[in-house]
Amino acid sequence: MLKIENLHASVEDKNILKGINLEVKPGEVHAIMGPNGSGKSTLSSVIAGKEEYEVSEGSIIFDGEDIEELAAEERAHKGIFLSFQYPVEIPGVSVTNFVKTAINETRKAQGLEDMPAKDMLKLIREKSDLLEIDRKFLSRSLNEGFSGGEKKRNEIFQMAMLDPKLAILDETDSGLDIDALRIVANGVNKLKSKDNAVIVITHYQRLLDYIVPDYVHVLHNGRIVKSGTKELALELEAKGYDWIKEEVGA
Ligand code: ADP
Ligand code: MG
Ligand code: MG
């Protein structure tokens, strides 16, 4: 589904990613961990196509297509979802209306008509029931006065509705409390299937107590310096990152 080869990327002329290789297959959950400033958010932004990031070398292949020339919006339409893509408050636009617009824009990009209102309603019911989201929450203004947990609930609801092939969740927020973590984890666990894939980016091992990754990668100084299974995350929690830095001679 996703194949990243020798990816180098910079922002404001500063080299951040220095040769990333990563392959994600359908049905897999990958965790990317690493110390602050190692390039985790940069990697997610580059995959999603944020324009301030410059790819200088290497390639990102998604579903067999080199996506380098595609704008963020086009990548989203192809099924790449990045959390925190819409952190803005939009007074007067409800959680539901926002997601309806996103769905219909995606359909338009695919040459389809708007989703019939009846089908949309059915989908909203189905996904909000699955995620145990209160109907009242759906009519709230987007992000306006949302708590950390409510922001997460909104993101997971968007993800459920858009049903991306590849979801990238950048849990960059140090303020994530245990409730917010559970919302994210429950959502991911309920939404994952053999056809989609998830990349969870986190600084913290504890999220991986709830989302069990198939693979764990450690990013350090713009490179994946170690890959393993869930046990690697446990080892990191016990020993920190310094031993890896020593191991790779950084
Ligand atoms: P992480 O998510 O692992 O904490 P980031 O990808 O956010 O790391 O940042 C990696 C490095 O790139 C840091 O040194 C950071 O200061 C720098 N960086 C990231 N985004 C920008 C930007 N928009 N402008 C300048 N420097 C940036
Ligand atoms: Mg980050
Ligand atoms: Mg950043």
Percent over 90 (pLDDT), the chain: 67
Is 36 near ligand 1, meaning CB less than 6 Å away?
yes
Q: What is the DSSP letter of 201?
A: E
Task: Indicate which atom in ligand 1 lies nearest the CA of residue 222.
Answer: 10
For the entire predicted model, the pTM comes to 0.92
Is residue 13 within 6 Å of ligand 1 at its C-beta?
Answer: no
Token pair for 96: 């539901």
> Which is higher by pLDDT, 128 or 144?
128
Kindly give the distance from the C-alpha atom of residue 41 to the centroid of ligand 1, in angstroms, as a whole number: 7
- Residues 220-228: what's their mean pLDDT? 95
In this predicted complex, what is the ipTM? 0.94
User: Does ligand 1 have an atom closer than 6 angstroms to the CB of 35?
Assistant: no
pLDDT, averaged across the chain = 90
At 99, which helix (H) or strand (E)?
helix 95-109
Q: At what angle do helices 95-109 and 117-130 cross, to 10 degrees?
A: 120
Residues 6 or more apart in contact with residue 88 via CB below 8 angstroms:
142, 143
Nearest residue by C-alpha to atom 11 in ligand 1: 37
29, β-bridge pairs: 198
pLDDT of 97 > 80? The answer is yes
Nearest CA to ligand 1 atom 23: 11
Q: What is the pLDDT of residues 16-47, one digit of tens each?
A: 999 999 999 999 999 999 988 999 999 999 99
Q: pLDDT band at 244, cuts 50/70/90?
A: confident
Q: What is the pLDDT of residues 105-116, one digit of tens each?
A: 999 998 999 999
Per-residue pLDDT, 24: 98
Nearest CA to ligand 1 atom 21: 11
pLDDT tens sequence across 150-178: 888 888 999 999 999 999 998 765 567 78
Q: Is the pLDDT confidence value at 222 over 90?
A: yes
What's the CA gap between 85 and 108, in Å, rounded? 20
Q: Which residues neighbour ligand 3 (ion) by CB within 5 Å?
A: 41
User: Measured in angstroms, how far is the CA atom of residue 86 from the centroid of ligand 1?
Assistant: 19
Of all protein residues, whose CA lies closest to atom 27 belonging to ligand 1?
11
Q: CA 118, CA 114: separation in Å to the nearest integer?
A: 11
User: Comparing C-alpha atoms, which of 159, 167, 161, 165 is closest to residue 199?
Assistant: 167
The whole-number average pLDDT for the span 116-123 is: 96
* Residue ranges making up the domain that contains 31: 2-247
**Does the structure show a pLDDT above 70 at 13?**
yes
Q: What is the count of structural domains for the chain?
A: 1
Q: How far is the CA of 84 from the centre of ligand 2 (A)?
A: 11
* Dist. CA 208–CA 194, nearest whole Å: 19
Name the range with the highest mean pLDDT among 84-93, 135-144, 172-181: 135-144
Residues 90, 98 contacting (CB under 8 angstroms): yes
Q: Give the Å distances, CA to CA, from 183 to 124, 151, 154.
A: 18, 10, 10
- 143-152, 219-228, 231-240, range with the lowest pLDDT: 143-152
DSSP 181: H
Q: Cα angle at 184 between 73 and 234, to 5 degrees? A: 115
59-68, 77-86, 139-148, range with the lowest pLDDT:
77-86
Per-residue pLDDT for 250 more than 70? Answer: no
Q: How confident is the model at residue 225 (pLDDT cuts 50, 70, 90)?
A: very high
Task: Kindly report the CATH number assigned to the domain that includes residue 77.
Answer: 3.40.50.300
